[in-house]
Structure 1
Amino acid sequence: MIDTKFTDDLASKAPVPGGGGASAYAGALAAALGSMVANLTIGKPKFADREQVLQETLARLDAYRSELISLIEGDAEAFSKLAACWKMPKGTEEERACRSRAEQEALHAACEVPLSIMRVCARVVEADEYLVLNSAKLALSDVGASAVLAKAALEAASLNVFINTGLMEDSAKALAYEEEANGLIEKTAPAADKVHAAVRESIVRVR
């Protein structure tokens, strides 16, 4: 039976997991699909000359999956710390200043975690770019699915970056976060689309 705890928690009114955790989960699924494709390809005589690279690709994808799973909890922790700031007293000037300092500090972590999700998802797409050219044809649809999921996870995680930078008082730091997020999207989305298009070109009978 499939364990539905994460999706049940996601569907509840609890604030975590939320969009960040869901992004990391989707990214982990993308990495897992890439690992499956590598596992299906390793050992086939046709790809014997690429065995070492395929093994290295598999090792990276397994590591990406583990990192993304850990970032689900990391996102929940970052949001919980931020939410705790909003419950701090604000009756006096001193209390408001303390609350503001705590919130601004928590916002940095709340940006770093989704950025980490984006960085790992970008690397999953890079692995897919190799696999789409170096894997068994019967597994190509899974390469395409991996790329689509990784792209979606990356773009979804970016929304958590942008909503938090909008609350930051340090405009230079906020801009740096936003520029990195936009750069990852601009580089990775076309790469993922290219993988998807290559898979469709190879497997779709009617276009």
Structure 2
Amino acid sequence: MDLDEYISRLKSSSATPGGGSASAISSIFAASLNSMAALLSTGKPKLSAYENDFKQISEESDNIIEKLKILSNEDEKSFQGIMDALHMDKADKNRRTAIDMAIQNSIGVSWDIARISIHNMENALYLCEHGNRNLITDSITAAYMAYATVHTSLNNIKINLKFQKSVDFKAEELLKLKFFMEAVEFVMEKVKKIESSVIP
């Protein structure tokens, strides 16, 4: 992914890439910061008890980055899928089903981005708690960047649910959102407590 090319596309008059795709990129940066903090926490005698965890976070971050690159593109495609369905002939009896399926696909992509990004938050929190103290602001930054991605993804899910006709699907998704948002805020509150303790 060429960053300059992506920025040029993002700031253009085209609707894609949009917020969902851009938020996935934010979480890529979060994972990159987690990897850096983990790598610079290894080999420290005082942190030796967490050595294996740091190595695992670094490896996980590499995988997260690759997955989010794919999901950033998938978000663009899923939005285009909704647009294609909406532009179907209104007399086409398959149009409503096509719209619902496209929306559900888009929601699925948003969930994938959100779930990966909360794991990014958890890794950042772990590094805040146990990692190299010289890098704690980097770990806090990673947590906030991943947090923004999660919220963007959840907002995209909620806005898409407004146009979803399946009552059962909508009810199930809203319940999942409730519990997921509670988990996200639980992690972020821990980060904020650490932040307030180390930053005047």
Name the TM-score class by shorter chain: over 0.9
Give 1:7 deviation, angstroms: 2.1
Q: 2:103 aligns with which of 107, 123, 139?
A: 107
**1:118–1:181 Cα contact (<8 Å) kept:** no
Name the SS for the 1:41 alignment partner.
coil
Aligned mate of 1:193, from 186, 189, 194: 189
Number of aligned residues: 199
Q: What CA deviation, in whole Å up to 9, does each residue of 1:12-62 have, x standing for no partner?
A: 111111111012111111111111100111122222232112111211222
Counterpart residue identity of residue 141, structure 1:
T
In the alignment, what sits opposite 2:36?
Answer: 36
- Percentage identity across aligned positions? 24
Partners in 2 of 1:156 and 1:64 — Cα distance? 18
- Describe the shift of the 1:111–1:3 C-alpha distance in structure 2 as closer, same or farther (beyond 3 A): closer
Q: Give the aligned residue type for 2:14.
A: A
Q: Which residue of 2 aligns with 1:82?
A: 82
Report how far residue 123 of structure 1 moved. Answer: 0.8
TM-score (normalised: structure 1): 0.90
After superposition, residues 48-197 of structure 1 pair within 5 angstroms as: 48-90=48-90, 92=91, 95=92, 97-197=93-193
Q: Which whole-Å CA distance do the structure 1 matches of 2:192 and 2:66 have between them?
A: 24
Give the match for residue 22 of structure 1: 22
Instruction: Indicate if the aligned counterparts of 2:125 and 2:140 stay in contact, CA closer than 8 A.
Output: no
**Unmatched 5+ stretches in structure 1:** none
Runs of 4+, deviation exceeding 6 Å: none
In structure 1, the partner of 2:10 is 10
C-alpha contact (below 8 Å) 2:107/2:156 kept by paired residues: yes
In 1, the alpha carbon distance for the partners of 2:83 and 2:45 equals 54
TM-score, normalised on structure 2? 0.93
Give RMSD over aligned pairs: 1.5
